[in-house]
């Protein structure tokens, strides 16, 4: 079973991801603001989420891959060109 | 008249193909992104995406129209990755979680804090350097961080296609970000991107 301190750190992750109930958000926000260790944890979680979202969220599949997959499906299923 | 193993008529097959094009194919970018981050290799990502879509078409009759096609495709990709890709592919050097955890815990609070004030602490890292750190995360952790932070899935959705409770998703995500932070922090310091502050 997890200790409360482990749980609170994981709830910070859920807080960053907007995955907490409203009442828990208000309570946790106050705790984060008044505790340096929790604030650090919050910044780490937020910084990593932001870094990944900004760097990698919009890479498109190459056109040749679309064509290749659709062609293979057609061939495997004897579909007309 | 053509028939396939499911004895579908040409017209039925054509309809299946058209439905597949409108329901499944639009999610190829998201799946490609995921495959690229899981493998860190464009050829392997191509193979993984291709195998996923070929399988998806074979099982498309079982897909319930109007439900979450993206989540359905991700489940197929995850299983493809586990069953096919991982068997034949060389596993990258994984970061040992305990080492990372120890490293993280040894970072002094003041040191960590000083980096937070510098919001652009990781901005000097190249995309490839960040990708390399992601691919070195243990697979379960890599999966959740990609699905959450790159693909934007909710905890419920991630829980659905990783077959684990929401609490496990939250826990893995929490640890994955800490592992990634520690790894990038260590790398950035070695490269001189991150300057250590001397504490008085």
* Residue A76 reports pLDDT greater than 50: yes
Q: What is the pLDDT of residues A15-49, one digit of tens each?
A: 999 999 988 999 999 999 999 989 989 999 999 99
The verdict on a CB contact (< 8 Å) between A68 and B50 is: yes
The verdict on a CB contact (< 8 Å) between B122 and A77 is: no
What's the pLDDT score for residue B180? 94
The verdict on a CB contact (< 8 Å) between B150 and A57 is: yes
Read off the pLDDT band of B94 (50, 70, 90).
Answer: very low
What's the pLDDT score for residue A45? 94
Enumerate residues 6+ apart whose C-beta is below 8 A from A40: B109, B112, B113, B116
Closest CA–CA distance from residue B171 to any residue of chain A (Å): 6
* Residue B199 reports pLDDT greater than 50: no
Read off the pLDDT band of A54 (50, 70, 90).
Answer: confident
Q: Does B59 touch chain A (CB under 8 A)?
A: no
Nearest CA among B146, B140, B124, B121 for reference residue B45: B146
Q: Does B181 touch chain A (CB under 8 A)?
A: yes
Q: Does B149 touch chain A (CB under 8 A)?
A: yes
What's the pLDDT score for residue B1? 47
Closest Cα in chain B to A74: B17
Partners of residue A1 in chain B, C-beta under 8 Å: none
Q: Does B150 touch chain A (CB under 8 A)?
A: yes
Over residues B171-175, the mean pLDDT reads 95
The verdict on a CB contact (< 8 Å) between B33 and A56 is: yes
Nearest CA among B24, B40, B37, B26 for reference residue B75: B24
The answer to whether the Cα torsion of B155, B161, B165, B168 is positive or negative is: negative
Apex A38 CA angle, A37 and A42, nearest 5: 120
Partners of residue B112 in chain A, C-beta under 8 Å: 40, 44
Enumerate residues 6+ apart whose C-beta is below 8 A from B124: B188, B191, B193
Read off the pLDDT band of B26 (50, 70, 90).
Answer: very high
What's the pLDDT score for residue B13? 87
- The full DSSP string for A7-70 is HHHHHHHHHHTT-S-HHHHHHHHHHHHT-HHHHHHHHHHHHHHHHHHHHHTTPPPPHHHHHHHH
Question: What is the predicted ipTM?
Answer: 0.83
Q: What is the pLDDT of residues B58-72, one digit of tens each?
A: 999 999 888 888 888
Closest Cα in chain A to B53: A69
Enumerate residues 6+ apart whose C-beta is below 8 A from B34: B74, B77, B146, B147, B150, B151
Closest CA–CA distance from residue B90 to any residue of chain A (Å): 23
Closest Cα in chain B to A7: B171
Read off the pLDDT band of B117 (50, 70, 90).
Answer: very low
Token pair belonging to B12: 């039925």
What's the pLDDT score for residue B120? 67
Q: Which of B21, B130, B154 has its CB closest to that of A51? A: B130
Over residues B33-48, the mean pLDDT reads 88
Q: Which of B18, B53, B100, B149 to mutate to test the interface with A (most CBs of A within 10 A)?
A: B149
Percent pLDDT > 90 in chain B is: 36
B138 or A78, which is more confident: B138
* Residue B6 reports pLDDT greater than 60: no
The verdict on a CB contact (< 8 Å) between A59 and B33 is: yes
Read off the pLDDT band of A56 (50, 70, 90).
Answer: confident
């Amino acid at each position: 079973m997890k200790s409360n301190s482990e749980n609170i750190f994981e709830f910070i992750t859920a807080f960053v991801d907007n995955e907490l109930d409203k009442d828990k958000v208000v309570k946790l926000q106050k705790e984060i603001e008044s505790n340096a260790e929790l604030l650090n944890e919050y910044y780490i979680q937020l910084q990593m989420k932001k870094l990944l979202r900004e760097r990698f969220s919009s890479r498109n599949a190459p056109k040749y891959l679309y064509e290749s997959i659709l062609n293979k499906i057609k061939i495997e299923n004897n579909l007309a060109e | 008249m053509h028939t396939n193993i499911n004895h579908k008529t040409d017209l039925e097959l054509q309809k299946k193909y058209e439905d597949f094009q409108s329901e499944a194919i639009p999610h190829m970018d998201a799946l490609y992104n995921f495959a690229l981050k899981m493998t860190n290799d464009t050829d392997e990502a191509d193979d993984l995406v291709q195998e996923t879509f070929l399988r998806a078409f074979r099982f498309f009759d079982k897909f319930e129209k109007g439900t979450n096609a993206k989540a359905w495709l991700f489940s197929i990709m995850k299983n493809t990755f586990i069953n096919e890709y991982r068997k034949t592919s060389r596993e990258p050097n994984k970061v040992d979680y305990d080492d990372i955890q120890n490293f993280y815990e040894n970072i002094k609070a003041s040191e960590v804090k000083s980096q937070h004030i510098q919001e652009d602490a990781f901005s000097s890292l190249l995309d490839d350097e960040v990708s390399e750190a992601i691919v070195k995360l243990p697979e379960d952790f890599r999966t959740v961080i990609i699905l959450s932070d790159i693909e934007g899935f909710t905890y419920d959705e991630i829980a659905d296609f990783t077959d684990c409770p929401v609490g496990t998703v939250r826990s893995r995500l929490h640890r994955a970000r800490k592992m990634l932070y520690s790894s990038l922090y260590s790398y950035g310091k070695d490269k001189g991107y991150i300057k250590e502050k001397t504490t008085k």
